[in-house]
């Protein structure tokens, strides 16, 4: 059933009132906002809205209106997206030297909640290079990383190569460990991209990649 303009205004006012005061309006307040002088007319429209499933009412209290499906704007902002710190670039190829202060936040990116893990701290890095294109990660993408000191085999990880010095830096690869040996494996069939084989103590894990953001031009 299609709402009448007056009913649409009543619903709109109830939501606005809830956003501002965090409790529902009275019948008289609704009437004043909707330009209705008669409380019986307000009641009539509220009954129709209740019949259509837009609201629930408790007639025993003066503010006994519940807006069905309502979430405050503050709740939406907090739960549908989050501001994730962007720490800089990570190589998908030859490692990029770590900045002098790798914890420094350069910017923030807005990330939908469904792309975030249910627990743990996260941070973002911008990808530079093509070594992970078969994993659908390419240069310019932003990866979201859950901060953790270890990952499972075959998980995509943000890691720092500590030694040898000529290869030191941050890189994005699939992580594989057998005993005290670690393979950092690319996802690109081009022979230019080869695995790095290192001792486990030559690698520091910063976290597991949980999602990828891509902007299409």
pLDDT in tens, 27-43: 999 999 999 999 999 99
- Please check whether residues 104 and 152 belong to one and the same domain: yes
The label of the residue with tokens 């890691």 reads 159
- Please check whether residues 87 and 109 belong to one and the same domain: yes
Q: Domain ends where: 74, 101, 128?
A: 74
Q: Domain ends where: 74, 96, 119?
A: 74
Query: SS3 of 106, please?
Result: coil
pLDDT in tens, 40-95: 999 999 999 988 888 889 888 888 998 876 555 555 455 577 888 888 889 998 88
Q: Domain ends where: 74, 90, 107?
A: 74
For the chain, how many structural domains are there in total? 2
Domain that holds residue 30: 5-74
pLDDT in tens, 102-131: 556 678 888 888 888 877 889 999 999 999
> Which two three-digit tokens encode residue 171?
């890189």
- Please check whether residues 110 and 193 belong to one and the same domain: yes
pLDDT at residue 104 in the model: 64
Residue 145 half-sphere exposure, CB side, CA atoms within 13 Å?
31
Residues designated as active site: 131, 173
> Which two three-digit tokens encode residue 193?
């991209």
Contact indicator for 141, 212 with CB cutoff of 8 Å: yes
Report the predicted TM-score, pTM, of the whole model to 2 decimal places: 0.61
- Please check whether residues 133 and 194 belong to one and the same domain: yes
- Please check whether residues 188 and 84 belong to one and the same domain: yes
- Please check whether residues 55 and 143 belong to one and the same domain: no
- Please check whether residues 67 and 136 belong to one and the same domain: no
Lowest mean pLDDT, pick from 3-12, 105-114, 146-155, 196-205:
105-114
Distance of alpha carbon 70 from alpha carbon 60, whole angstroms:
22
Whole-number average pLDDT of the chain: 87
The domain that holds 69 is classified in CATH as 1.10.10.10
Distance of alpha carbon 160 from alpha carbon 98, whole angstroms:
8
């Amino acid at each position: 059933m299609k709402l009448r303009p007056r009913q649409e205004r009543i619903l709109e006012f109830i939501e606005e009132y809830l956003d501002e005061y965090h409790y529902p309006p009275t019948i008289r307040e609704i009437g004043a906002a909707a330009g209705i002088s008669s409380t019986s007319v307000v009641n009539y429209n509220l009954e129709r809205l209740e019949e259509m499933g837009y609201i629930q009412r408790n007639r025993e209290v003066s503010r006994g209106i519940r807006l069905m499906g309502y979430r405050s704007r503050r709740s939406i902002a907090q739960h549908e997206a989050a501001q994730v710190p962007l720490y800089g670039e990570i190589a998908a190829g030859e490692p990029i030297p770590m900045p002098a202060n790798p914890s420094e936040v350069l910017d923030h990116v807005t990330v939908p909640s469904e792309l975030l893990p249910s627990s743990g701290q996260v941070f973002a890095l911008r990808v530079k290079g093509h070594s992970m294109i078969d994993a659908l990660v390419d240069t310019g993408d932003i990866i979201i990383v859950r901060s953790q000191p270890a990952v499972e085999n075959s998980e995509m990880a943000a890691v720092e190569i500590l030694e040898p010095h000529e290869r030191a830096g941050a890189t994005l690869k699939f992580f594989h460990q057998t005993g005290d040996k670690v393979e950092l494996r690319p996802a690109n069939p081009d022979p230019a991209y080869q695995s790095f084989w290192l001792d486990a103590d030559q690698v520091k894990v910063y976290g597991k990649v949980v999602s990828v953001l891509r902007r299409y031009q």
